[in-house]
Homo-oligomer: A and B are copies of this chain.
Amino acid sequence: MNACSDMPGNMARKTGSHSEITGPRIRAAALHLFARHGYAAVSMRQIAAEVGVQAGALYLYTPDKQTLLFDLMRGHLEDLLQAWAAEPKGEGPLARLEAFARFHIRFHLDRPDAVFIAYMELRNLEPENFASIEALRKAYEDELETILRDGAASGLMRVPDTKLATLALIAMLTGVGTWYREGGRLSRDRVERIYWNMVRRAVGA
């Protein structure tokens, strides 16, 4: 049970003197198992087994199980915000709304496990971790709300309540992950287009 006759390479100019192979593998295994069975239902021993190490080895990479979950969620939401910031958005509220809808679907279809966890495991976060994650999520929602508010202000959209519309649209778009399966009846592009049409019409544009 070596799993690592392949070298750890030269490491550790940084303080985090841990393997750059095992660390990511632990995160991947935890992501997969948490998404499939839920945080509380997955034991550290199960995660370790999926990676091919003993349970004790996990603690070289994470101080405890709770932090492992928190890091996964924070990593996902930071990726989300960063990817959206880097997304080309076009000009005007309508173009931006389309960019948002398509981006959201694409991003979420690429990471079904992380999306599932970020939504389902909020209740398993300790209070301060929860607050930290909620702030990130709020920042993302604000991106959409700003678009809707601009759209309403300029008369291009009809949304009686931007906050409500924001949450309704995000719920709808995120829901795609609950049923979409790769290689299914509909292509990603077709899904993107159909959803975008529903979003556009829902805001009266």
- Which residues of A are at the interface with B, using a C-beta cutoff of 8 A? 36-41, 120, 123-124, 160-161, 164-165, 167-172, 174-176, 178-179, 186, 191, 194-195, 197-199, 201-204
Contacts and interface: CB of A to CB of B under 8 A. Distances in A.
Contacts of A199: 202
B186 A164 contact: yes
A117 to B, nearest CB: 12
Nearest to A172: B172
A179 B37 CA distance: 25
A198 B38 contact: no
Contacts of A201: 201-204
Given A169-B172, A171-B175, A201-B203, 11 more contacts: A37-B124, A38-B124, A40-B41, A164-B186, A164-B195, A165-B194, A165-B198, A167-B178, A168-B172, A168-B195, A198-B202
A36 B204 contact: no
Contacts of A174: 171
A169 B179 CA distance: 13
Contacts of A202: 198-199, 201-202
B161 A186 contact: yes
Residue among A40, A123, A198 with the highest chain B CB neighbour number at 10 A: A198
A197 to B, nearest CB: 7
Contact of A167 (B40, B168, B179): B179
A168 B40 contact: no
A38 B123 contact: yes
Contacts of A124: 37-38, 41
Nearest to A160: B194
12 contacts: A37-B123, A38-B39, A38-B40, A40-B41, A160-B197, A161-B194, A164-B186, A167-B176, A168-B198, A170-B175, A171-B176, A198-B203
